[in-house]
Structure formats: structure tokens, C-alpha cells
């Protein structure tokens, strides 16, 4: 998400870096590039203009020009301005009480209201609330069925009524009453999509607002919307006093400029973002983290939170111990892969790690999930002993494993080499202090960005050898020479 903004903005900011020193002239050039990057990302013209001006005001201040690292300062300013542009956000909902809390979703056609209703219900479920859905979209054919099916998938009760000749206000009123009876503590009203210039339908929404009196009204907005997003958000806000925006379809390559504009123009904050088709793909929106992502600084906080949710702490501790000791086996490798898989798609994960984002852009056809599946296939085809002790695997066993997992024997070989090299790298990294580890990781990422097919190289050990090591090496080489001689003899026969 936000790739294009990121790319363009990073490009624009590189203007500031030229020549290493900031002058008035390259500031102006750089800011023009920033403005254009924002416009190309569908940011509203006025917002882009104001944004560029605000940054100019701060940057031109003497302190920046005279500071040691002006570029970093400019990026810092942009980051702070982006946060201010998109925030602050309050995700809190009214606490559970005897009366159910009512949330109303509204928006244009096709913005994703029905799917978002389901996602929101699921999110609330995980927070221990008891959600209840009301199908108030009587316009679109089969919208009611859609919500009913989603409700069944989630195990959330859905209030439905016949669409023909019915009216949405009544459905909402009945829905809230039904929710009370069903002992739900939060009700989500899924209203029909409508254009903000359709006075009749907008009045219907106002009527629901008056009769049902929802605690929060959320505007669902498609991240791909262009300049009109601001107009529709403004019109809905004038009619209904919105409490928040849910930005959907952010998993594509949408530039999300709407996200930057809506808050700036209407003052209504973005509260949630939809990042996938599955019902669990709704996340609370954090302006500071998003600003980091837009500037290509990664989003380690979200990654860390996700990891904490999904990982088993004991397992992680044990693995780390093994890594330190260099006893990292195929079994550990596989369980680690499975843990990572739980976090979501590899691409998404990589984008959250600083410096790894451009790796994803550099290799768009990278099929990381497929590779992972192949690798776990190979490991599954090994016997338990082989997994712990890969030295056992000779030519015959390698063939058997390859046949069992449907790959070439050379693939098996490659995996064994990679894992043993990785064990070395990890052992080294584990003994490093934290800040060095990050450096080592991003170095690894850069190597891959340049040469994705590269094997992981075992770290070069110090060339100063102890006496014992030297002797062992000499012995090994002598043995190798002997073996080759023998082999040559055998071949001659």
C-alpha cells in the first residue's frame, strides 16, 4: 500500500540530498517535486499545496540549513507533518452498557460497506464484544444475502427483512430492537451505497440518524478514489457529522492520496483500514506508523505487535537459544517458517521492515509463498533422523527425498547448504549486540536485492587459526587428496 506515494516522495526527497548541502534553490526544487508526487497520488490540490508550503516554512528556518545533517532533518519534518496531516486518531468505542452501542456505516456504491461490516464485526468479536449486524441495504440486489452469509461465516447474528416495499429506517429500528433481544452489545448498520448528490437517499440516512441515533457514524471510502473523495466525504460529513473514516482496498497499489486529504479537509480521522479480502483484514489506523511506511521507513511496531499476537513465546526463546549455540536444525527451520506464515504474506512482512521494502519492489514476481511450500515439502520428505542430522543425507537419500517432494536432487542439496550457512550467520548474529544485528540484517537484504538467486554465504571466519585447527585442516585436505586418487583409480577400471 502507498507504494507510489513512497516511491515518488522518496524520489522527491532525494532532491534535498543533492550536493549534500541545502540551498534555497534546491529546497524549492525539492518541494515542487514533493507537491507533484502528492498530486500524482490523488492528494487534493489544496492539501498538497498547503503541505508543501508548511514544509517550506519549517525547512527554510535557519536551524535546518545550519544543522549537521539537513537531509535527515527535512525527512523528520516531513514525517511530523504527515503525522499531523493524518492524525490524531481515537479508536475507542463507548464501553459496553445495558443499551447496545450502535455504529452506522455509510458510503458510495462499491466502496466495500458490506464486507467492512463483516470485518468490523470480527474485529469487535476478537475484542470480546458481542456484535450484531443489520442488513439495511435494500437497494443492491442480493446485498442482504451477502451480509447473511458473512454473518454465518463469523457466527454473528444478522437481522434481515424483505427488501421489496420496505424502508431502511424501519429495518434499522427493528434491527436495534432485535439486537437488544439477542443480548448483543454492539450493532453495526450496513446501509445502501449512495451518491452524496442524491438528496433523497441522503435524507434517508439523516432519518436513520435521527430515529436510531447511532453512537458513531463511519464513512467507508475506497482508497482508489480520486479527487472526488474529498467532495463526497465533505457532503456526507455535512449531512451526518461523521465520527470516522474506514479506508478500504488498501492492499492494492492504490496511492491512498484520499487518506491524506480527507482528514485535512473534513477533520474526520481515518480509524480503520481494510488491507485484504479476508474477513480478518481490518486494522486500526495509526498515522505515525503510516507516515513511516509512506517514507519507506518501515513499520516495525506493527510487525512486532503481530508477532506477539501469533508467536509462542517459549518456542521463540528455545529457538533463540539454539541459534546462539549454532544448533539450528531443519526442524527448527520449518517451525520458524510456519510461525512467519501466520503473520501474513511475506511481501507484507518485508515491507514493514526498514530497508526491505525496496526488495519487494525490485522483484515483483518473487513467489516467496511457493518457495516456502516447496521447502517444507522437502523437509517433510525426510526421516526424523535426517532432519536433526542432515549429514546423513547421501546421494541415495537425496534422490529419495527429491522424489518424495517432487523437486530435483539439486534443490535438496541447495536447501541443506542454505540452512547450514544460515545457522552460521545466525550464530554470529546472536552474539552481536542488537544494533549490529539490525545492520547485519539490512546488509543481507541488500545482497538479495542485487542478486535474489544468491546463496547465503557462510560468514568468513577469521583467518588466524589456532594450531589445532591448522592441523585438522591439513589432515582433512590430505584425506581429500587420498580420496580423489582412489576415485580416479576406480574410474579407470
Of 204 and 222, CB closest to another protein: 222
Which residues lie closer than 8 Å to 151 by C-beta, 6 or more apart? 118, 121, 133, 157, 158
Which residues lie closer than 8 Å to 125 by C-beta, 6 or more apart? 131, 154, 156
For another protein, the binding residue among 255, 281, 289, 351 (CB under 8 A) is: 255
For another protein, the binding residue among 125, 160, 216, 231 (CB under 8 A) is: 231
Taking a C-beta distance cutoff of 8 angstroms, is the pair 248, 135 a contact?
A: no
- Report 56-115 residues binding another protein (CB under 8 A): 108-112, 115
Taking a C-beta distance cutoff of 8 angstroms, is the pair 418, 456 a contact?
A: yes
Site string for another protein, 144-183 (x = CB under 8 A): xxxxxxx--x------------------------------
Of 271 and 281, CB closest to another protein: 281
- According to DSSP, the residues that pair with 136 across neighbouring strands are 191
Of the chain, the end-to-end C-alpha distance in Å amounts to 65
DSSP notation for 369-403: HHHHHHHHHHHHTS-HHHHH-GGG--HHHHHHHHH
Place of cell 463526497: 232
For another protein, the binding residue among 26, 167, 207, 227 (CB under 8 A) is: 227
245: DSSP letter:
E
Single out the segment in contact with another protein by CB under 8 A; choices: 91-99, 244-252, 283-291, 400-408: 244-252
For another protein, the binding residue among 57, 99, 183, 228 (CB under 8 A) is: 228
Site string for another protein, 179-218 (x = CB under 8 A): ----------------xxx---------------------
258 binding another protein? (CB under 8 A): yes
Of 125 and 420, CB closest to another protein: 125
351 binding another protein? (CB under 8 A): no
41 binding another protein? (CB under 8 A): yes
Which residues lie closer than 8 Å to 192 by C-beta, 6 or more apart? 136, 137, 138, 139, 140, 143, 168, 201
Of 118 and 269, CB closest to another protein: 118
For another protein, the binding residue among 11, 88, 96, 226 (CB under 8 A) is: 226
251 binding another protein? (CB under 8 A): yes
For another protein, the binding residue among 17, 28, 29, 39 (CB under 8 A) is: 39
Of 117 and 381, CB closest to another protein: 117
Q: How far apart are CA 405 and CA 414, in angstroms?
A: 14
Given strand 101-107, what is the order of strands in its sheet? 158-159, 131-136, 186-191, 101-107, 216-222, 244-248, 270-274, 282-284
Binding-site ranges for another protein (CB under 8 A): 4, 36, 39-42, 45-46, 49, 108-112, 115, 140-150, 153, 195-197, 222, 224-229, 231-232, 249, 251-255, 257-258, 277, 365
Amino acid at each position: 500500500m502507498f507504494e507510489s506515494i513512497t516511491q515518488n516522495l522518496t524520489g522527491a526527497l532525494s532532491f534535498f540530498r543533492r550536493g549534500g548541502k541545502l540551498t534555497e534553490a534546491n529546497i524549492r526544487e525539492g518541494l515542487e517535486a514533493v507537491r507533484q508526487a502528492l498530486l500524482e497520488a490523488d492528494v487534493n490540490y489544496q492539501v498538497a499545496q498547503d503541505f508543501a508550503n508548511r514544509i517550506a516554512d519549517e525547512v527554510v528556518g535557519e536551524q535546518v540549513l545550519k544543522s549537521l545533517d539537513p537531509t535527515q532533518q527535512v525527512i523528520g519534518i516531513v514525517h511530523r507533518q504527515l503525522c499531523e496531516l493524518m492524525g490524531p486518531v481515537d479508536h475507542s468505542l463507548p464501553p459496553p452498557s445495558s443499551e447496545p452501542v450502535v455504529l452506522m456505516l455509510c458510503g458510495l456504491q462499491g466502496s466495500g460497506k458490506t464486507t467492512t461490516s463483516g470485518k468490523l464485526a470480527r474485529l469487535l468479536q476478537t475484542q470480546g464484544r458481542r456484535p450484531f449486524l443489520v442488513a439495511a441495504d435494500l437497494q443492491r440486489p442480493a446485498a442482504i444475502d451477502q451480509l447473511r452469509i458473512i454473518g454465518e461465516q463469523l457466527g454473528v447474528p444478522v437481522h434481515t427483512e424483505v427488501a421489496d416495499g420496505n424502508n431502511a429506517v424501519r429495518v434499522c429500528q427493528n434491527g436495534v430492537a432485535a439486537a437488544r433481544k439477542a443480548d448483543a452489545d454492539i450493532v453495526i448498520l450496513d446501509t445502501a451505497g449512495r451518491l452524496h448528490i442524491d438528496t433523497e437517499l441522503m435524507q434517508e440516512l439523516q432519518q436513520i440518524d435521527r430515529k436510531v441515533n447511532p453512537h458513531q457514524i463511519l464513512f467507508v471510502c475506497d482508497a482508489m478514489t480520486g479527487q472526488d473523495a474529498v467532495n463526497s466525504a465533505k457532503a456526507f460529513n455535512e449531512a451526518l457529522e461523521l465520527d470516522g473514516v474506514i479506508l478500504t482496498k488498501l492492499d492494492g497499489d492504490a496511492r491512498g492520496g484520499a487518506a491524506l486529504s480527507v482528514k485535512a479537509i473534513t477533520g474526520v480521522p481515518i480509524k480503520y483500514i481494510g488491507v485484504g479480502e479476508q474477513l480478518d483484514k481490518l486494522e486500526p489506523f495509526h498515522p505515525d506508523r503510516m507516515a513511516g511506511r509512506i517514507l519507506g521507513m518501515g513499520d516495525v511496531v506493527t510487525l512486532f505487535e503481530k508477532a506477539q499476537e501469533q508467536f509462542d513465546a517459549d518456542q521463540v526463546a528455545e529457538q533463540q537459544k539454539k541459534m546462539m549455540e549454532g544448533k539450528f536444525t531443519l526442524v527448527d527451520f520449518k517451525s520458524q517458517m510456519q510461525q512467519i506464515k501466520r503473520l501474513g504474506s511475506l511481501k507484507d512482512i518485508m515491507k514493514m521492515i526498514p530497508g526491505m521494502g525496496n526488495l519487494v519492489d525490485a522483484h515483483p514476481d518473487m513467489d516467496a509463498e511457493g518457495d516456502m511450500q516447496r521447502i517444507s515439502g522437502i523437509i517433510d520428505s525426510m526421516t526424523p533422523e535426517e532432519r536433526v542430522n542432515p549429514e546423513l543425507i547421501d546421494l541415495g537419500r537425496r534422490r529419495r527425498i527429491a522424489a518424495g517432494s517432487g523437486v530435483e536432487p539439486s534443490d535438496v542439496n541447495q536447501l541443506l547448504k542454505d540452512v547450514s550457512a544460515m545457522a552460521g550467520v545466525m550464530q554470529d548474529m546472536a552474539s552481536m549486540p542488537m544494533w549490529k544485528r539490525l545492520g547485519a540484517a539490512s546488509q543481507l537484504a541488500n545482497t538479495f536485492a542485487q542478486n535474489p538467486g544468491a546463496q547465503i554465504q557462510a560468514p568468513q571466519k577469521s583467518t588466524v587459526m589456532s594450531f589445532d585447527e591448522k592441523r585438522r585442516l591439513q589432515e582433512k585436505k590430505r584425506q581429500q587428496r587420498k580420496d580423489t586418487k582412489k576415485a580416479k583409480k576406480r574410474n579407470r577400471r
